[in-house]
Amino acid sequence: RDGYRWLRTLDGYGMGGILADDMGLGKTVQVLSYLLAMKEGGQQLPSLIVCPASLVLNWQEECQKFTPQLQSVAMDGDAAHRAALVDGWAQADIVITSYDLLRRDEKLYAGQSFYACILDEAQAIKNHTTQKYKAVCRVNSRVRFALTGTPMENRLSELWSIFDFLMPGFLYSYSYFKKHFELPIVRDGEEAPLSRLAVIIAPFLLRRLKKDVLKELPPKTEQVLTATMDEAQEKLYAACAAQVVF
């Protein structure tokens, strides 16, 4: 309920956000409920969902299960088949494609307007220099949302990439972000820019943890296994590490 209301609120202001609930807490259902409410409110444009290829048909199944009122088109098959599916977009409420197919089919999307563009497993665009990232940013939509249980995996720049998709310029240019946030926080351990960043993004990131929601779950068990490299592997690793430019 809170996630649904949060999506509706941001939509009302024409803003985007990251729904960052842990896996299994219903991000899909929240988004489908939001899209159904938009349709019932008179919204007629289709919305685009971009996800990993393995989840395209799963999204369509979830749509049919929870919101059968929404008509969906799953973009699959070869290039000719996908081009033919475009004719059905006018009657569809949701178009579902994968990150790789969106990149390949950019010409199909060039003249199309969508209501919402929603990225599932949005950590897929954590590198803002990739063609995948540039393809999703070129999608023409009124609002944008990202779904991911891991909005930041390795680098603070990953968070910038997702927000730059959602609301370009919201976290400034990357050069400014790197100078005033990433380096001071990561390299220098400064608290002030970290606190400032947390305040800036707080209204646009909603996160629930399983331990806070599903009280009956046992505590998570973590086991660390160490793999020792042999001499040849160590030499190869050292050679690769020496070439990395930080």
Asked if the model's pLDDT at residue 187 lies above 90, the reply is: no
Residue 234, token pair as written in the block: 């160590």
pLDDT for the residue numbered 147: 94
Asked if the model's pLDDT at residue 119 lies above 80, the reply is yes
Q: What are the tens digits of pLDDT across the range 199-231?
A: 999 999 998 887 777 777 677 788 888 888 999
Alpha-carbon span 27 to 22, nearest angstrom: 9
Cβ contacts of 22-29, under 8 Å, gap ≥ 24 = 22/149, 22/207, 22/208, 22/209, 22/210, 22/213, 23/149, 24/210, 25/208, 25/210, 25/213, 25/214, 27/3, 27/120, 27/147, 28/59, 28/62, 28/66, 28/120, 28/147, 29/62, 29/66
Tokens of 212: 């806070």
- The model's pLDDT over 10-50, given as tens digits with 9 standing for 90+, comes to 999 999 999 988 777 889 999 999 999 999 999 899 999 99
Predicted confidence band at 170 (pLDDT cuts at 50, 70, 90)? very high
Q: Which of 121, 152, 136, 114 is nearest to 51 (CA)?
A: 121
User: What is the per-residue pLDDT across 124-164, written as a single tens digit (0 to 9) for each?
Assistant: 998 999 999 999 999 999 999 999 987 777 788 899 999 99
pLDDT of residue 23: 77
Look at residue 245 in the predicted model and tell me its pLDDT.
53
- The tens digit of pLDDT for each residue in 62-102 reads 999 999 999 999 999 899 999 999 988 989 999 999 999 99
Q: Look at residue 113 in the predicted model and tell me its pLDDT.
A: 93
Phi, psi of 69 (to 5 degrees): -70, -20
Which amino acid belongs to residue 8? Answer: R
